[in-house]
Chain A
Amino acid sequence: MAEIDMKNIVKKYGDGFPAVNDVSIDVQDGEFMILVGPSGCGKSTLLRMIVGLEDITSGEMVIGGKVVNDLAPRERNLAMVFQNYALYPHLTVYENIAFPLRLAKASDAEVDEKVRAAAATLELEEHLERKPGNLSGGQRQRVAMGRAIVREADAFLFDEPLSNLDAKLRGQMRTEIARLQKKLGITTVYVTHDQTEAMTLGHRVAVLKRGLLQQLATPRELYEQPGNLFVAGFIGSPPMNFLPATVEGTSVKLPFGSVEIPAEKAEKAAGKGLLIAGIRPEHFEDAAVKEGASGSASTFRAPVDVVEWLGNETYAYIPFEAPPEVEQQLRQLERDLDGEVLHTQLVVSLDGKSQIAEGEEAEIWVDGTQIHLFDPTTGENLTVDRERAGRIPEGAETVSAS
């Protein structure tokens, strides 16, 4: 058991490129911390610096009150699950799990007891004598976890452990990891690029982009109070909609019409000219379904391009034209998120009862209290409630830094 304190960690490679740039994250004892971000954001590098497989250029890594910058991996007493499991193919499952104990020169009786206990936890008893090559992906994953839990490590580190599994198994293993962490109550750092894993597993989530920490907060805080455009676009599926907007009084002018927003939000964004409004798909509704919405100040009429009916809900797609400066920003954002914009469109999630048909013009209601307004040049969320947004480091808001 230990807390992990990263203080101003920097990792520069030979060419001077900072893969991790001045990142400070404090992981509490027993906390499940997620490092999330698109590929190349430095999350794996950060994890490898915690475990000692990567040198730290500058900054301090403190584990359990001890600076470990210059300690070898074996002296840090951490357990890690690798992305491709890294099982020892020449050893049986039993010996794979027993490997750390054998290195620690544990007695045979102790090894046997601990391996069997770990195997029981992970339901691997019947596979103990098999070789990793004969196991399925999920079983290998469990062996890798067995090897991690068998010794009393100070913390668990996971490097995208579920990315090699198929979708169904991934869901099961995700629950399994959450249950295991809860049961053992051990400090855990978990790297993933999957925002669903980040949201469901983590006590707190650190969102990284190009080596910079963007926001460190609980999943709920990230979802409800994203610090900037990047976090807002990264967290949530389907992603948040971004629309060009201008604030006039207490109403926001969107491409389809004006929507009323709370006065305090309008005040923060007043006089800033052209902004980007961020609205999550579920904060829209079919005005015909929502009681008392039709004809109110928070509705607009728009032509629906495509409708996807899923039973419990309906996704409707509404294309719009964005002014060039906003569109450029949105394209950059999409690149940062490893995606590709084909055309600017609004995705709205409607009630399953909605009768809107493709090609029709529909009346859509917007929850004005849930609208976020972003500065198009810096990407900063102007309407963020900093009290409930965790930690947003300075300098994280410059979106298109490159």
Chain B
Amino acid sequence: MAAKNQTRNKIGTWVGFIFILVWCLLPVVWIMSLSLKGPGETAAGSAQFLPKSPTLQNYRDILGIGTVTPGQENTHADFLDALRNSFGIAAIATFLAVIFATLAAYAIARLDFKGKRLVLSLALAIAMFPVVALVGPLFDLWRTLGLFNTWPGLIIPYMSFTLPLAIWTLSAFFREIPWEMEQAAQVDGATSWQAFRKVIVPLAAPGVFTAAILTFFFAWNEFVLAISLTSTTASRTVPAQLSFFVGPDPFNPPYGLLAAASVVVTVPIIIIVLLFQRKIVAGLTSGAVKG
């Protein structure tokens, strides 16, 4: 009886597992297959899943390697510019957001000050605020301040919108670290700053990495602000740039090209997740206190 139940459980687990896998990964596989199809195949409205004659021409076009399809001569230059913008803006926004969030979260977790709840609720309110509602005012403001179509013009809003989440994540991590750690460091001769830098931050590393990844993803994937606050490839990021891939025929968007670009921008995200996955290990603090 028990054995039968166990097998049934196992089968059920696997069915569920496969279902979720297909549900999540089918669109990704579809994009990858699409990126390998030539314009003839996508324009014909073909319904088959796998490409009939797989080609890497789309990748050649967007990355500018080898011979480029006629009519797509400028695509690769724009795409590579956008890729550079995306990297730069996302990296700087992440860096600044994590630094500010770490300091703010530490203060919130450790210090008792007036208006602590206010700071936290305000942060939450900002996180809930619809980004679209800010596009108009920001557009005007940035044009007046000369921030329109610049890197800082995107870095500042990205940082502001990711700070709340980063602060909440990090303050939760800081709260987990026993007070004694810091007190021990102070007794051992550390200043508050040294105790923070040498003991607290390393212990909060999983939290710092989590916050960094969340911030980076937001900045990397963001579209509304990227399309509204930029006008040229001087600061346009990849998601916005993709909407400018129109091709020679307005009625036939270059689906293959778009798919190839999507695959290319997804790769860094996957690499980052795989790299930092090991850093985001829970239980790093095990052994600090009696276990």
Contact = CB atoms under 8 A, between A and B. Distances in A.
A137 interface: yes
Given A53-B183, A90-B205, A132-B288, 9 more contacts: A53-B187, A84-B290, A87-B287, A88-B199, A88-B203, A90-B284, A103-B188, A147-B184, A164-B290
Given A53-B183, A73-B183, A103-B194, A87 B288 contact: yes
Contacts of B286: 89, 133
Contacts of B185: 88, 99
A204 B26 CA distance: 75
B244 to A, nearest CB: 47
A100 B186 contact: no
Contacts of B186: 52-53, 72-74
B190 interface: yes
Interface of A: 51-53, 72-74, 78-80, 82, 84-90, 99-100, 103-104, 131-135, 137, 140, 147, 151, 164
A317 to B, nearest CB: 36
A86 B189 contact: no
B11 to A, nearest CB: 38
Interface in B181-231: 181, 183-191, 194, 198-199, 202-203, 205
A80 B184 contact: yes
B130 interface: no
Interface in B264-291: 284-291
B249 interface: no
Contacts of A135: 287
B192 to A, nearest CB: 9
Interface residues of B, number: 26
Given A85-B290, A90-B202, A78 B285 contact: no
Nearest to A79: B187
B289 A86 contact: yes
Chain A CB count within 10 A is highest, among B181, B189, B190, B286, for B189
Contacts of B178: 84, 86
Contacts of B205: 90
A131 B287 contact: yes
A257 to B, nearest CB: 51
A51 B188 CA distance: 11
Contacts of B184: 80, 82, 86, 88, 147
A140 B190 contact: no
A140 B290 CA distance: 9
24 contacts: A52-B187, A72-B186, A73-B183, A74-B189, A74-B191, A78-B187, A79-B188, A80-B184, A82-B180, A84-B178, A85-B290, A86-B178, A87-B288, A88-B184, A88-B288, A89-B284, A89-B288, A100-B188, A103-B189, A132-B288, A134-B287, A140-B287, A151-B188, A151-B189
A87 B288 CA distance: 5
Interface in B234-281: none
B156 to A, nearest CB: 33
Contacts of A88: 181, 184-185, 199, 203, 288
